Amino acid sequence: MFLFFGILIGLYLSWPGLVITENWKCFNDIIVKSSEDKVSFKAALEISPSYLLKGKNKKTSSKIRIIADACFR
C-alpha cells in the first residue's frame, strides 16, 4: 500500500498535469502524430541534446518520459 501511494505521489510531483484531461489529449495526439512521422514542435523542444547524441540508447521508457514532459508539465 505504501509503495502504491509512493508511486502515485511521485508521479504527481513530477508531472502535476497528470490529472488534467486536456494534457492526456496532448499525449495521445503526440503518439498518433509520431506514428505518422509528424512530431509536434512542443515535443521536439523537450528533447535534450544528449538524447540525440547517444543515438543507440532510445528505449521506450525514455520516449514516454519525453512525451510526458511535453504534455504534463
How far apart (Å, rounded) are the C-alpha atoms in residues 55 and 37?
A: 18
Do 23 and 17 contact (CB within 8 A), yes or no? yes
Note the pLDDT tens digit of each residue in 42-68. Answer: 666 666 656 555 655 567 777 777 777
- Residue 25 confidence (pLDDT): 86
Residue 4 has pLDDT above 90, yes or no: yes
Out of 12-16, 26-30, 48-52, give the one with best mean pLDDT. Answer: 12-16
Place of cell 512521422: 37
Burial of residue 39 (CB within 10 Å: 0-12, 13-18, 19+) is: middle
